[in-house]
Amino acid sequence: MGLALKAYAKLNLTLEITGRRPDGYHTLKSLVVAVDWADEVHLEPIPRRRIELRCMPDLHIPHGENLVYRAAELLWERFFPRGGVRIVLLKDIPMGAGLGGGSSDAAATLAGLNELWGLGLSDEELRGFARELGADVPFFLGESPAWMEGIGDVLRPAAEEIPPAFLVLVPPFPCPTAEVYRIYDELAKPEPGPSERFPNDLWPAAVRLRPELSRYAEALRGLGEVGVGMTGSGSALFAAFDGEDVAEWAMDELLERGVEGRLKLVRPRPRGHDFLVK
């Protein structure tokens, strides 16, 4: 019998760059929350000793670069299970927007294969494997919200009160992370933005790369929100609301204005993944 999991997106409500390591990686401190915009990861045992991965829609990503495949391969090489697995990845979270979809998919794959193959790994052991895949991946295996520090791999629970609803606006263009960090390094110590409540040190660099972001952020302001922010290195922006009714009205208002991009009303989740069938 197979398993299916929801792999949730994340929002960086705040993001502060705290330094840079000798190896070039930036260190940060970020308040992160999982939200109910999700991909689905379906795992089915197969008799052949192999890993099969199907993505819908087709992402045209080589298996060696796909975090889901790498997650399965990591556990496969360590534990060499008797049978194989067919993984079907149903994508809905936009790529290149700072929403963490790829990392979340990888975390859900680790959690699901732990169950499917009966590995009996603890949460901390799973997070150890997650760190080998990427700095964001461990977050999706733990509680939300959380403070993320180091290069993103150091986590601690957050007690901060999180707004109950967010309206996410994904412009029709990505913000490549490497490019945003390169520009950040070229700028003098920038002022965080786009709002005081949800500061993000990468905002000036993202706007330098994509000046249109200022226009999208302005579209989200003045709609009854309690603050506007950018998640990760962009390009996705969000507006936080004290209630879903106001957030729904704001989404309708933006749709009537014909704002380009994708709009999604999301709510916080207590962790980065959920089992659908177990």
Q: Give pLDDT, residue 193.
A: 66
Residues in the chain, total: 278
Q: Indicate whether 189 pLDDT > 70.
A: no
Q: pLDDT digits over 223-262, tens only? A: 999 999 999 999 999 999 999 999 999 999 999 999 999 9
Q: Is 189 one of the annotated active-site residues of the chain?
A: no
Tokens of 205: 């660099």
Q: Which residue has the tokens 């290069």?
A: 151
Show the domains of the chain with their CATH numbers: 3-157 (3.30.230.10), 165-269 (3.30.70.890)
Instruction: Work out the pLDDT band at 190, boundaries 50, 70, 90.
Output: low
Of residues 267, 92, 253, 269, the one with CA closest to residue 166? 267
The radius of gyration of the chain from alpha carbons, rounded to an integer in Å, stands at 19
Q: Is 136 one of the annotated active-site residues of the chain?
A: yes
Q: Which of 39, 105, 136, 201 is catalytic?
A: 136
pTM for the structure as a whole: 0.95
- The CA dihedral of 206, 153, 15, 175, to the nearest 10 degrees, is 20
Q: Give pLDDT, residue 48.
A: 86
Q: Indicate whether 42 pLDDT > 80.
A: yes
The residues, any chain, with a CB within 8 Å of residue 209's CB and separated by 6 or more, are 175, 179, 180, 183
Instruction: Work out the pLDDT band at 88, boundaries 50, 70, 90.
Output: very high
Q: pLDDT digits over 96-134, tens only? A: 899 999 999 999 999 999 999 999 999 999 999 999 999
State the DSSP H helix or E strand holding residue 29, giving kind and residue range, or none if neither.
Answer: strand 26-46
Q: Which of 6, 10, 105, 201 is catalytic?
A: 10
